[in-house]
Amino acid sequence: MTRCNELDAVRGVLLLVMAATHLPTGLNPYADQPFGYVSAAEGFVFLSSFLVGSIYSPLLLERGVQYVRERLWQRARKLYGFHLALLVFAFTVVAAIAHLWHSQGLHNYLLFYFRAPAWAMVSAPLLLYQPPLMDILPMYVVFLLLTPMLLQLAARRGWWPLLTLSALLWGAAQLHASHLLYGALRLTGFPLPHDAWSAFDWLAWQLVWVAGLWLGSGQRRRQQLAAQAPRLGLRGYLRSTRPYVLLLTAMVAALFLCSRHHLGGPLAPIDINSPLVDKWKLGPLRIANFAAIGFIVSQLVLPALRWLRVAVLELLGRASLQVFTAHIPVCILADGLLDSGIGFGSIAQQACMLALMLAVMLLVAWRTDAPRRTAALASARRAAGPPRAAPVRVQNRD
């Protein structure tokens, strides 16, 4: 299974969009769901599960479920460590800044921690208390832990029963089933406010994860067929696609785009908080919008990135989880400085903050990618063979 550089580039784009969305700058309104009723979070979760499915579905058949479980649970433990590090940062540095600088924004950010610090420090490692911006990694960890079982069930029973169950859970989320689970938790006496838990409804977002696993599981077969097919140029590739399906999908995506930004069209503007396009529960129209954009990306954007080869985006994508983790403290501190009166009002100040964020993301990506570069250099040296000895010159003393 060769690494797909264009998928890494797409993840790099999503990371930049998320960073621009979370930073308090003038780009925030434009970066928040710019292509319709779809955010970068859907793409980030979907691509992560797609890559997991493409890598570990074949390994499940070749090496067994125990090997897959060990590998995925090891990765889950690593991400859980990232989450614990973010919690320590929030409960020490962020809490200190909120207290010393009287930052109301940061105080509200850790409101449950300031109200019940003991309960917060107990429930946060258990993934029950999740401050804002720290609720994607816990969901990702839990989905990773469940993935070996999901792949094993799919290998035994096929994907359709699993997809049907996933769709039913998504439907239950639309009927507020998660509120019933939260009510059951409150009956135990646990004083956790509903807004202190994840903003993402896990019953709904598991649909994105399962769909990514399903599509990723067939990626090796698609790569083998593509390798056997004759190599096509850009014009040949466009001719080989289904133009009518692509045109229809583009029209659907354009309708959602116009509705999202109030640009007119036959689809009336929909409130961003409407249940039809709700981000946290993944409303039905949001699912349709995401499917349309995903098809366009797979048919047009990925081939373009294959030819363009944007190295910076690929670098960010290869270290996406580390980069995502690193950008969260920068966003939290930026909000604290803005609320404390230091602010980022001018364009120059906002540009400096964006440059700082980009520098942090690139530095983390570069450090994370160091083992791969070292391995590639060692492989190149082995392929070149041992160094040749320099010829010895014998001087004639006669």
Q: How far apart are CA 260 and CA 270, in angstroms?
A: 7
Tell me if residue 195 falls in helix, strand or coil: helix
The answer to whether residues 53 and 153 belong to one domain is yes
Residue 381 lies in a domain: no
Structural domain containing residue 153: 42-229
Residue 157 lies in a domain: yes
Look-up of token digits 């019940």? 116
Q: How far apart are CA 170 and CA 281, in angstroms?
A: 8
The answer to whether residues 75 and 121 belong to one domain is yes
Q: How far apart are CA 273 and CA 268, in angstroms?
A: 15
The answer to whether residues 179 and 246 belong to one domain is no
The answer to whether residues 209 and 242 belong to one domain is no
Q: How far apart are CA 236 and CA 328, in angstroms?
A: 43
Residue 374 lies in a domain: no
What is the number of residues in the chain? 398
Closest of 264, 289, 286 to residue 274, by C-alpha: 286
Among 209, 229, 249, the domain boundary falls at 229
The answer to whether residues 361 and 273 belong to one domain is yes
The answer to whether residues 24 and 65 belong to one domain is no
- Count of domains forming the chain: 2
204 membership: H or E segment, kind and range = helix 202-217
Confidence at residue 43, expressed as pLDDT on a 0 to 100 scale: 93
Among 229, 256, 277, the domain boundary falls at 229
Residue 181 lies in a domain: yes
Q: How far apart are CA 138 and CA 142, in angstroms?
A: 6
The answer to whether residues 52 and 98 belong to one domain is yes
Q: How far apart are CA 173 and CA 265, in angstroms?
A: 30
pTM of the model: 0.88
Confidence at residue 49, expressed as pLDDT on a 0 to 100 scale: 95
CA distances from 118 to 100, 112, 113, 190, 229 (A): 21, 10, 8, 12, 61
**Farthest-apart Cα atoms in the chain, separation:** 104
The answer to whether 4 and 316 are in contact (CB under 8 A) is: no
The answer to whether residues 209 and 258 belong to one domain is no
* End-to-end C-alpha distance for the chain, whole angstroms: 65
Confidence at residue 398, expressed as pLDDT on a 0 to 100 scale: 43
The answer to whether 241 and 298 are in contact (CB under 8 A) is: no
The answer to whether residues 103 and 215 belong to one domain is yes
The answer to whether 37 and 292 are in contact (CB under 8 A) is: no
CA distances from 274 to 34, 212, 269, 280, 377 (A): 17, 25, 11, 11, 52
Confidence at residue 30, expressed as pLDDT on a 0 to 100 scale: 83
Look-up of token digits 């479920």? 65
Residue 11 lies in a domain: yes
Residue 350 lies in a domain: yes
Closest of 181, 192, 213 to residue 127, by C-alpha: 192
The answer to whether residues 206 and 79 belong to one domain is yes
The answer to whether residues 60 and 204 belong to one domain is yes
Residue 373 lies in a domain: no
Residue 394 lies in a domain: no
| HSE-up (13 A, CA, CB side) for residue 200 | 24
Question: What DSSP state is assigned to residue 345?
Answer: -
Per-residue pLDDT in tens (0 to 9) along the chain, 398 residues: 567 889 999 999 999 999 999 988 888 888 888 889 999 999 999 999 999 999 999 999 999 999 999 999 999 999 999 999 999 999 999 999 888 888 888 888 899 999 989 999 999 999 989 998 999 999 999 999 999 999 999 999 999 999 999 999 999 999 988 877 777 777 777 777 777 888 899 999 999 999 999 999 887 665 555 555 555 555 555 555 567 788 899 999 999 999 988 887 777 888 888 999 999 999 999 999 999 999 999 888 888 888 888 889 999 999 999 999 999 999 998 877 765 555 556 788 888 889 999 999 999 999 999 988 888 788 777 777 666 655 555 555 44
The answer to whether residues 221 and 238 belong to one domain is no
Confidence at residue 103, expressed as pLDDT on a 0 to 100 scale: 81
